[in-house]
Amino acid sequence: MKRKTLTQYLVEQQRQADGLGAEVRLLIEVVARACKSIGHAVGKGALGGVLGSLDSENVQGEVQKKLDVLSNEILLEANEWGGHLAAMASEEMETIHAIPNRYPKGEYLLLFDPLDGSSNIDVNVSIGTIFSVLKAPTHVAGAPVTEADFLQEGSRQVAAGYAVYGPQTMLVLTVGKGVVGFTLDREMGSWVLTHENIRIPEDTREFAINMSNMRHWAPPVRRYIDECLAGATGTRGKDFNMRWIASMVADVHRILTRGGIFMYPWDAREPGKPGKLRLMYEANPMSFIVEQAGGAAVDGVNRILDIKPGQLHQRVGVVLGSRNEVERVAQYHREAG
Ligand code: AHM
Ligand code: MG
């Protein structure tokens, strides 16, 4: 059977009545090409000299791994010159990266977490790249793009996706018309459509949370997990399984494949912080994908895609996955007031 490539899929999306804009199509292709390069570097590991940490810290105060920085550079370089973007923003950069004057500028904004799941790099466990595309607000001609232009609700994303570098390298994408998955054909170097119309089952028996934080959780989270742990003889009347990869990309990928709930909720470790994960380039793109696959995503109570960001690197609690389970967690939060 002849399968579609990413290019063919995107061209088809463009040809539809309310089709994808040509700029978005091309910029997704560029991001996908950059992910191929990142996947190649990941695959080389110690042979490519890409493992280990640098002396530097990113804006979040996290020690940067060599691959964090390399992946960021690959994405910047690939996307700078294409003419589709007004600016970019990344987990690894304090503020936005405007397109240099030597290149033409486009209408879109690209945000990314270049290498998600950094703690898994050196131990050869799946990691990924997450990206989100927004339309730049229209400016008076010539006005520079500012950070404020990026602070749009996730519901305004034009496209979002992730690449997962695992046993297979895959690209999962939404342009607002469902979710599709492409597998990298390493011999041909092309992304091939292997997963059409990905749907998350509404119910599940599998949860993902870092249990070592249990003592810091809010009561509604504790209640939900306690009930899962109680199993078939408890109020839920069924046994639950647990998984925690510590790469959001890989955990979300599992949920898209066989259902489940992923939680990185607010906890009391750092009371001033609303969560660990970042809203604009982790939670928003993943929430867009999960909703497009029939799942749900909340910060505990509120729909993540409705949150108006106040800052580029804003953090947020994340509960996403199978719709009925996410709704249950939100209900427990509402009951707790
Ligand atoms: P990163 O973007 O710096 O890699 O951090 C985000 C990652 C997520 O992929 C994952 O869900 C989480 O951090 C794991 O955190 P922990 O080590 O606290 O379990
Ligand atoms: Mg991350």
- Distance between CA 211 and CA 226 in Å, rounded? 11
Give the count of alpha carbons within 13 A of 145, CB side only: 27
Q: What value does the mean pLDDT take over residues 68-80?
A: 96
Q: Is 115 annotated as a binding residue?
A: yes
Domain with CATH 3.30.540.10 in the chain: 4-193
3-state secondary structure of 38: helix
Rounded to the nearest angstrom, the distance between the alpha carbon of 135 and the centre of ligand 2 is 22
Question: Residue 201 has what pLDDT?
Answer: 94
Q: How many other CB atoms are found less than 10 A from the CB of residue 83?
A: 13
Strands 63-65 and 318-321: unpaired
CATH architecture of 4-193: 2-Layer Sandwich (3.30)
Name the pLDDT band for 17 (thresholds 50, 70, 90): confident
The DSSP code sequence of 300-330 is SSSBGGG---SSTT-EE-EEEESHHHHHHHH
pLDDT at 53 (0 to 100): 86
Cα–Cα distances in angstroms (integers) from residue 318 to residues 220, 262, 305, in the given order: 14, 8, 11
Q: 204-335: what CATH class?
A: alpha beta
Output the residue whose Cα is nearest ligand 1's atom 5. 117
**pLDDT tens digits along 32-67:** 999 999 999 999 999 988 888 887 787 777 778 899
Q: Which of 174, 211, 117 is nearest to 295 (CA)?
A: 174
Where does CATH 3.40.190.80 sit in the chain?
A: 204-335
Residue 119: CB within 6 Å of ligand 1?
yes
User: Which of the ligands is closest to the CA of residue 252?
Assistant: 1
Choosing from 116, 125, 126 the residue with most ligand 1 atoms within 8 A of its CB, the one to mutate for a pocket test is: 116
What per-residue confidence (pLDDT) applies to 59? Answer: 77
pLDDT digits (tens, 9 = 90+) for 93-148: 999 999 999 999 999 999 999 999 999 999 999 999 999 999 999 865 667 899 99
Give the residue carrying structure tokens 């990266």.
Answer: 97
